[in-house]
Structure 1
Amino acid sequence: MLSSSSSSEEDNDDLCEESEDSHFGSSRSSKESYNKSDVEEVKEGEERTDLKVHDMGLVLQSTSWEVAILISIIYGAIRWWFSIKFKFWKLRGVPYVLPSFPCGNIGELILGRLSTNIIYKKIYDKLEGHTFGGLFHLTRPIFIIRDIELVKNVLIKDFEHFNNRFRDTEKGSGILSKILFLSDGSKWKKIRQSISPTLTPSKIKAMFTIFTESTKDMMDFLQERVFDSDDLKINVLAYDFTTDVLCSFAFGQRINGMKNPNSELRLMGRSIVKELNGGSFVVKIIASFFPIINRALNCKCQPIRYIEKVVTERIKHREKNGWFRNDFVQFLIQSRKRGRIVNDELLEDSCPQMATKGYFGIDVYLTDKMYEQLVFHCLEMFLAGYDTMSTTIGFCLHELAINPDIQQTLIEEINEVLKEFGGEITHGAVQKMEYLDKVLSETLRMYPVGGTVFRTCTSSYMIPGTKTLLEKGMQVVIPVYALHHDPKYYPNPEKFDPERFNEQNKASRPRYCYLPFGEGPRMCLGMRFALLGVKVAVVALLSKYELSVSKKTLLPIRLDHSTIILSAKGDIWLRISNRK
């Protein structure tokens, strides 16, 4: 029994074990079965994924081809459109310089590699043998003149066909419309009529004190700085002198910027000039093609608002107190109040800063609109004179330093004339210096600040002696810098030679190959004032100092291609020494 029982227990144990083994065995079997089906599903999933990826690849490949084809079509259409535009001059039988896609002939300008003056000179040279030709600003056709007689026609003889500077001249009520340089024909006449009486030779002579005050400030600055000799940034000295003169002339405020370099008026004025001459070429080019953008940029910036405030306060102060001073502001007040300018002799005999109640009719007051217009006249005179005076002084002194024989001849003339006038720099003394005039004329030949004159055809014009018709709206370019450097008119044009402007040489060449201030009705109104300012600065410096090349002087001088006006790249370093 026991054996049977134990045997039975053992059997039960075996059964139990078998039963557990049987259970686990069935579990593994079912798990293996599950794993196989799962693997099969995964494989099927991977196959489906691969199929989707494959299909996606086909779609992407197809889309890429479609995009590539679309881009090619668009690019081809653009190229075709440009090619049609670039045929403008060919269809009219006008010689032209082959343009490049997409910038036309101004790619180097947009990239900042060359300035407009140099680009136009290159085109001028390529058109040698022709009296005129064509080029392209992007796709806009531009007409360029090489013939001196045609220059005369455009600027003077047939001026009624070319009385605007630019095609999209401002006609609205914005800032640009109030500036003589940019105003359109009808508005230009009115503005010019109000300004021109204030810049006659007698009025400029009456303002000579402005130059002598600024000259004294400059010489005091140099006396403190230069004990024997020193290297100076001549262009900075010229900027400071010019700023002093123009703030006194145009805004009625003497600032002495050399002694007070942080003067707010000085900083604001230079900020405006910097913005106008620098900035993005691309923005300016685009703005010139799209009037909407151009008008969007036609707003009052902070410096302009500040200057408007300063000038308005000056005018109101003079109105209220009868305060008088010989400057541009005063003459504008006179012309606005009475529609006339006070007698020249009275102005010349009067003392600056003299109270003259009743002298110009204090009972007549200016309206807000007249204030605003006066402000913009003042601002324009500041902007027009700033570059002309400062850059011309810098270039002139540079050429005198690298040409000591010419400098010595000029010093001898200055000594002789000043001795005759008791050592004083007066209006009469400066006007008597003939060699100084030659030196300045040659400086402006080599470095014309406004190196290009622009005109727009305001009514259809047939070029005399040809079948070429200039349509209304055509932009015309007179490349002044190129004319000034044409060996046909000026042999060895890169040589600084004041004798080109002796009477015999001037009579031997055409008049209109020399255009530093333009010519005709729209020539620069401030020419006499700017020339006098440059002469006074040069005379004052050479009466006490001599100039020479320093180790920092860049030779040859390089031009800045990032600015609109003609200017030197970097600083003009010269050594300035006391004369012995």
Structure 2
Amino acid sequence: MDLAVVLVGVFCLLLSVVLWVRKRLTYWKEMGAPYEEPHFIFGNLKGVGIYDHDGQLTERFYRKHKNKGPFVGVYFFLSPVVIPTDLEFVKSILVKDFNYFHDRGIYFNEKDDPLSAHLFTLPGLRWKRLRTKITPAFTSGKMKLMFPIVVEVAQRLEDKISKVAEVGAVMDVKAVMARFTMDSIGTCAFGLASNTLQDESSEFFRVGMSVFDNPRHGTWFLFLLIAFRELAGKLRFKLFRDEVTKFYTSIVRKTVDYRLANNVQRNDYMDILIKLHTGADEGPLTFNELLSHAFVFHSAGFETSSTTLQFCFYELACNPDIQERTRSHILEVLEAHGGELTYEAMVDMKYLDQVICETLRHYPPAGNHFREVTQDYKVPGTEFTLKKGTSVMVPVYAVHHDPEYYPDPLKFNPDNFADENVKARPFAAYMPFGEGPRICIGARFAMMQVKIGVIAGLRRYRYTVSTKTRQPLKLLSKIFLASVEGGIWLNVERIE
């Protein structure tokens, strides 16, 4: 009798759970919105982190449901998520109605995992206050001050490429470009001479690369943390491995202590963070806050820029006519500026801009931009109201590969960014750095760094694709940022 009661109780509990889950997964259907039929357990995330990069997953939903309404409803496990399929709605989310979407809704754990609470993840007023104070570090005037420092690092990049060409070896483009971007950001932002281009066994390089190559969690689990943020926080999940936290804490602590003890001022990003840390204004940064903002600028900055450089050199190697045109353009502009790479010469390289923009279109560093509905929001032109707390994924990769905006979207075509073509496209058809108030604060620095990297690597060297590179390229599914399975390997030949 007792066993029968227990079995009935267990059955009733399981039935209740099943009915509750089914109810959760009818959210979009009951609203009457276009939606993708979900899996009972995974929602619409089946395959993410195993087969699909998240940008390519949302591209499938975008293409299937485009023109059926301003968005399609999907699920992260049991949580409803909006994928906008109309660029006017994207504009509303990122710009026009930003006050309804000012948070990203990404999991972070400030107490146990200080590296995770930075400008990218912070919500509301904390984000706004810090953004306002940090923005002066990224003005065009600051870029001019940093320019010669990056050029100096780029000279070491040329030396590195020269050694590869001399011995006829193939070049792991990602590794070489990551050393360049890691050194330039380390020098410009923190005054650190990491010297990873010269030191093959650099601890700085090993730990920095491990943030993305050996993450604590894969994409699938990160989506789980986003979907169940409150529970994840109570369980005190961390995003970064302890080795990474320990290493960056030590580096930043030593830099801060040295500058304060010796009254060192370099007018760089670290200076601004230190002033916010030691200043008398209301709510100075704690050391952990300073640490997290320093970490994200360095780690995300070197990774996204090196990835862009990797894809750029790959496409130039695949398209020798574009490679030759780009090289000729660089040399012509340099000659017009007396043979010297100046800030003004870099700005004048318009075709180089087009090449890099096309690279970012084809391979946006992040396949999606995350937002969260911060108060109930009525979708313009519809009867749908998005409830507070609903997640939004702006499908960057999908929009960048939409033939409506880019004819033959799989073809690498820098002319997509000729002035007349840019003007003909709607707002938000190109958004590798995001748009609106939460656009990437380091976008200007990233573009400068990538342009200098291409100039340094291309003006004296020719590239072809090595047989070691697996083609067609396949994006790694385990991380959010675009990366290639097996890497990209190129043959390098010096041009006499």
Report the TM-score, using the length of structure 2 for normalisation.
0.91
Structure 1 match to 2:245: 304
Q: Does 1:199 align with 2:138?
A: yes
**Residue number in structure 2 paired with 1:223:** 162
Runs of 5+ consecutive residues of structure 2 not aligned to the other structure: none
Distance in structure 1 (CA, Å) of the matches to 2:461 and 2:149: 22
Picking from 66, 71, 76, the partner of 1:137 is: 76
Determine if contact 1:176/1:182 at 8 Å carries over to the other structure: no
- Candidates 347, 371, 378, aligned match of 2:294: 378
Work out whether residues 546 and 577 of structure 1, in 8 Å CA contact, stay in contact via their aligned partners in 2. Answer: yes
The answer for the alignment partner of 2:374 in structure 1 is 458
Q: Which moved more, 1:170-179 or 1:531-540?
A: 170-179
Partner AA of 2:324 in structure 1? Q
Contact in 1 for aligned 2:183/2:196 (Cα 8 Å): yes
How far did 1:167 drift?
A: 6.5
Letter in 1 for 2:258: H
Q: Deviations over 1:395-423 (max 9, x none)?
A: 00000000001111101111111112333
2:230 & 2:200 partners in 1: Cα distance? Answer: 38
Distance 1:223 1:175 in 2: 40
Q: Deviations over 1:82-104 (max 9, x none)?
A: 22211111111101011122111
Residues 369, 166 of structure 1: alpha-carbon distance in 2 compared, 3 angstrom cutoff: closer
Which residue in the other structure is 1:352 paired with?
none
User: Any conservation in 2 of the 1:86–1:99 contact (CA below 8 Å)?
Assistant: yes
Once residues 286 and 74 of structure 2 are traced to their aligned partners in structure 1, the CA distance between those partners, rounded to angstroms, is 42
Alignment partners' CA distance in 2, 1:167 and 1:283? 13
1:163 is displaced (CA, Å) by 0.7
CA distance in 2, matches of 1:335, 1:206: 21
* Deviates most, 378-387 or 494-503: 378-387
Shift in alpha-carbon separation, 1:125–1:66, aligned structure 2, 3 A: farther
> Can you list the C-alpha shifts for 1:80-130, whole angstroms capped at 9, x where unaligned?
3322211111111101011122111111115x1112111111111111222
Is the 8 Å Cα contact of residues 231 and 573 (structure 1) preserved in structure 2? yes
Between 1:116-125 and 1:221-230, the stretch displaced more is 221-230
Deviates more, 1:81-90 or 1:478-487: 81-90
SS of 1:118's equivalent in the other structure is helix
Amino acid in structure 2 at the alignment position of 1:377: H
The one of 261, 264, 267 equivalent to 1:320 is: 261
- Shift, 1:153, TM fit: 0.8
Who is 1:51 aligned against?
Answer: none
Higher mean Cα deviation, 253-262 or 324-333?
A: 324-333
RCO comparison, higher one (Cα < 8 Å, 6+): 2
CA contact (8 A) 2:465 2:491 kept: yes
Helix, strand or coil: the match of 2:95?
Answer: helix
Q: Does 1:118 align with 2:118?
A: no
- Distance in 1, Cα, partners of 2:284 & 2:102: 30
In 2: Cα distance, 1:317 partner to 1:538 partner: 34
SS at match of 1:530: helix
- Counterpart Cα distance in 2 of 1:195 and 1:233: 34
Which residue type is aligned with residue 127 of structure 1? H
1:521 paired with 2:456, answer: no
CA deviation after TM superposition for structure 1 residue 371, in Å: 4.0
For residues 294 and 398 of structure 1, do their structure 2 counterparts lie closer, same or farther at Cα, with a shift above 3 Å needed? farther
Cα pair distance change 1:380/1:157, threshold 3 Å: same
Distance 2:107 2:156 in 1: 42
Deviation of residue 503 (structure 1)?
0.8
Give me the whole-angstrom Cα distance separating, in 2, the residues matched to 1:311 and 1:138. 38
Q: Distance in 1 between matches of 2:484 and 2:27?
A: 36
The answer to whether residue 420 in structure 2 is matched with residue 504 in structure 1 is yes
Query: Counterpart of 1:133 in 2: which secondary structure?
Result: strand
Contact 2:74 2:82 in 1 (8 A): yes
CA RMSD of aligned residues (A): 2.8
Q: Verify: 1:161 aligned to 2:100, yes or no.
A: yes
Q: Shift of residue 310 of structure 1?
A: 2.1
1:268 to 203, 207, 224: 207
- Distance in 1, Cα, partners of 2:306 & 2:116: 26
| Contact 1:228 1:578 (8 Å CA) reproduced | no
CA contact (8 A) 1:105 1:136 kept: yes
Rounded to whole Å, the distance in 1 between the matches of 2:184 and 2:48 is 33
Q: Partner letter of residue 83 of structure 1?
A: R
Q: Contact conserved, 1:458 with 1:473, CA < 8 A, in 2?
A: yes
Deviation per residue, 1:58-77 (Å, 9 max, x gap) = x9xxx8x9999988766655
Using the alignment, how far apart are the partners of 2:386 and 2:110 within structure 1? 23
1:405 aligns with 2:331: no
Q: 1:284 is matched with which residue?
A: 222
Distance in 2 between residues matched to 1:312 and 1:422, nearest whole Å: 43
Question: Structure 1 pair 275/297, CA: closer, same or farther in 2 (3 Å)?
Answer: farther
TM superposition shift of 1:529: 0.6
Q: Per-residue displacement from partner, 1:414-467 (whole Å, max 9, x unpaired)?
A: 111111233332222111100000000100001000110111110111111111
Return closer, same or farther for 1:74/1:109 CA change in 2, 3 Å cut-off: farther
Give distance in 2, aligned partners of 1:455 and 1:231. Answer: 41
Unaligned runs of 5+ in 1: 1-58, 341-366
Higher mean displacement: 177-186 or 137-146:
177-186
Deviation by residue 1:185-231 (Cα, 9 ceiling, x = unmatched): 11101111221111111112111133122212212222233227431
Cα pair 2:66 2:86 within 8 Å, conserved: no
Q: Distance in 2 between matches of 1:575 and 1:168?
A: 41
C-alpha spacing 1:382/1:232, structure 2 compared with 1 (3 Å): same
What is the distance in 2 between the residues matched to 1:180 and 1:123? 29
- Could you list the per-position Cα deviations for residues 258-293 of structure 1 after superposition, in whole angstroms to 9, with x for gaps in the alignment? 2212223333322334344x6334432332214242
Matches within 5 A, 1:62-77: 76-77=15-16
The corresponding residue for 2:346 is 430
Tell me the amino acid that sits aligned with residue 382 of structure 1.
H
The residue type paired with residue 420 of structure 1 is: A
Provide the rounded CA distance (Å) in 2 between the counterparts of 1:78 and 1:141: 18
**AA of the residue aligned to 1:503:** D
3-state SS, counterpart of residue 436 of structure 2? coil
C-alpha contact 2:33 2:384 (8 A) present in aligned 1: yes
Q: For 1:330, which of 271, 275, 287 is the aligned residue? A: 271
| Contact 1:207–1:326 (8 Å) recurs in 2 | no
Distance 1:174 1:550, change over 3 A: closer
Find the counterpart in structure 1 of residue 153 from structure 2. 214
CA deviation vs aligned residue, 1:299-347 (integer Å, no higher than 9, x gap) = 882332332222222233223333343532234345666689xxxxxxx
Contact 2:115 2:291 in 1 (8 A): no
1:511, 1:299 → 2: CA distance? 34
Paired AA for residue 196 in structure 1: T
Task: State the one-letter code of the partner of 1:517.
Answer: F
Q: 1:86 is matched with which residue: 15, 25, 34?
A: 25
How far off its partner does 1:255 sit? 1.8
- After superposition, the Cα gap between the structure-2 partners of 1:173 and 1:305, relative to the gap in structure 1 and judged at 3 Å, is closer
Q: Between Structure 1 and Structure 2, which shows a larger proportion of helix residues?
A: 1
Question: Counterpart amino acid of 1:404?
Answer: P
Tell me how far apart the structure 2 counterparts of residues 282 and 542 of structure 1 sit (CA, whole Å): 38
Q: Deviations over 1:489-514 (max 9, x none)?
A: 11110000000111111111102111
The answer to whether the Cα contact below 8 Å between 2:149 and 2:184 also exists between their aligned partners in 1 is yes
The residue number in structure 2 matching 1:533 is 449
Q: In 2, distance between residues paired with 1:339 and 1:575?
A: 55
